Amino acid sequence: MKLKSKRLITGLLLLNAVFSNAIADDQLRLPDMGDSTGTLISPQQEKALGESFFRSIRAQLDISYDSDIQNYIQYLGQTLVANSDNPNQAFYFFVVLSDDINAFAGPGGFIGINSGLILNSESESELASVIAHEIAHVTQRHIYRAYEASSRMSLPAAAAMIAAIIVATQAPDVGIGALSAIQAGSIQMQINFTRDNEQEADRIGLKTLVRANFDPRSMPIFFERLQQASRYYGAGAPEFLRTHPITTSRIADTRGRAETYPYRQVPNSQDYLLTKAKLHVSSKQSSLKDLITYFQAQIEQGTAEQRAAMQYGLGLSYLKQQKSNQAESIFLNLNKLYPKQVHYLTALAQVSVEKQDFANAKDLYLKLQQQFPNNPDFKFEYIAILLKSDQVQQALQLLKLIPYENQQHPRYYLLLAQSYGKLNQAVNLHRYMAEYYYSIGQTDSAIVQIKLAQKAKDLNFYLSSILEDRLNFFIAETLALKELQK
């Protein structure tokens, strides 16, 4: 644990180095983002920076692509945004599969929440209080002040740098790997938010929490528990505290403000309980045997909703052990009790895939698509099953109907590549593998794929010019990033 914090410091020293080599590329150069009024960075630039940032994050952290988890965090986050002081700002929420207790905000409203934070929250209001706090850092534009130095960089370099800063606090080993080529320099980099920033984020986050009908008292309770954990763990304190230092006076302030609201009990949503059960099953810390013991021990405790969540967790643990029949009987039973609960429907679909009953899996995903027409995950799941049952043309037809805003999703490109692979169309296979690698921040691998596509036998003039354009674009971006390492 001590080693971890030493590495963190090394990481920060390396980060300081980066800004002395800020690059000049007029085409890509960003305006001053340090401006707190937000007038100097255009919404388009902010969006591009955010997307580039998210690609870098995808390359370095383990992001959950689970549709249930993604749905839940997105719903909770957007509910809070709708009640924030800037409800029209664009946000995107995602879960990082890491046992470290952390949450972080990047540019463009991209907010990451670690599974460790969700699992360590004892109520949905506690989880919401951290997310509301992060949202406030974004709406108050603290993040641009914190990342001020990156304003002197090109867009891909700035995005990679912000991602590296976050990854350095998150998982020091990875962060340093990403920055190892960078030499010492002089410009100071601020990674922590200031005390004023923190107090403002607490104050504004608390208002959001109240407006969204969560329990405001959960904020001081959760923060205090995190602070106590930091004393207990010493150097291995929750990462969240490194970037958001929690002081006793901050907790007291927040408690004072929270207590001005009348006391009310806010029950946890079923989705919160089910999401926690699912994350518990996917946590790297627990063995399968432990999981089954854990869920079985609690299956008779608490409210009907709590018992259902424990049964669901037990079912998922059986599924992980490939005991499909035991899992299925649990999910069928839960589905009978709560026919509208999406988690149970996706669990049943997963069981069908496991049993290679693709017809049933398709039926279930069709139903889910009708229930949630705007959710891309259910479409992707459905298309993946079409491919598994060799219905390639149908899969391609549906992929062509995926709306533009969902086409940045890595899964979209992977499914396209798989479809063309099944059709032995090598150019398109490699072309979409290139897009897939780019979407997860692995631009070097994207370049390799384009070069493979250029050598394929089915190359024609039209595809050749598309490939040329993309190759130039990818090369320009890697050059911008390599400037950082000079």
When the beta carbons of 118 and 450 are compared against Zn ion, the nearer one is 118
When the beta carbons of 192 and 442 are compared against Zn ion, the nearer one is 192
Tally of helices (H runs) and strands (E runs) in the chain: 24, 3
- Strand order across the beta sheet in which 110-114 lies: 92-96, 110-114, 103-105
When the beta carbons of 73 and 111 are compared against Zn ion, the nearer one is 111
**Bridging pattern class, strands 92-96 and 110-114:** parallel
Measured distance CA(207)–CA(209) in Å, rounded: 5
Contact residues for Zn ion, defined by CB under 5 A: 193, 198, 201, 244
CB 401 within 8 A of CB 383: no
Amino acid (1-letter code) at residue 23: I
Measured distance CA(312)–CA(21) in Å, rounded: 52
Shortest Å, Cβ 244 to Zn ion: 3
Q: Is 25 a catalytic residue?
A: no
Shortest Å, Cβ 133 to Zn ion: 5
Shortest Å, Cβ 243 to Zn ion: 7
**Residue 370 CA neighbour count, 13 Å, CB half:** 7
Shortest Å, Cβ 7 to Zn ion: 23
Q: Which of 68, 124, 202, 271 is flagged as catalytic?
A: 202
Residue 199 CA, chain-centre distance (Å), reads: 25
What is the CA angle 405-408-411, rounded to 5? Answer: 115
Shortest Å, Cβ 226 to Zn ion: 12
Site of tokens 């899969």:
395
When the beta carbons of 135 and 368 are compared against Zn ion, the nearer one is 135
Residues 6+ apart with CB under 8 A from 18: 161, 179, 182, 185, 187, 189, 484
Q: Is 202 a catalytic residue?
A: yes
Token pair for 452: 């493979």
What is the CA angle 418-422-423, rounded to 5? Answer: 120
Shortest Å, Cβ 142 to Zn ion: 8
Helix (H) or strand (E) holding 339: none
When the beta carbons of 198 and 377 are compared against Zn ion, the nearer one is 198
Instruction: Decide: helix, strand or coil at residue 403.
Output: coil
What is the CA angle 478-484-485, rounded to 5? Answer: 95
When the beta carbons of 222 and 474 are compared against Zn ion, the nearer one is 222
DSSP 153: S
CB 132 within 8 A of CB 209: yes
Residue showing the smallest CB distance to Zn ion in the complex: 244
Q: Which of 134, 271, 328, 377 is flagged as catalytic?
A: 134
When the beta carbons of 201 and 434 are compared against Zn ion, the nearer one is 201
CA distance between the termini of the chain: 32
Classify the phi-psi angles of 263: left when phi > 0, otherwise alpha if psi is within -120 to 50, otherwise beta.
beta
Shortest Å, Cβ 197 to Zn ion: 7
The residues that are catalytic are: 134, 202
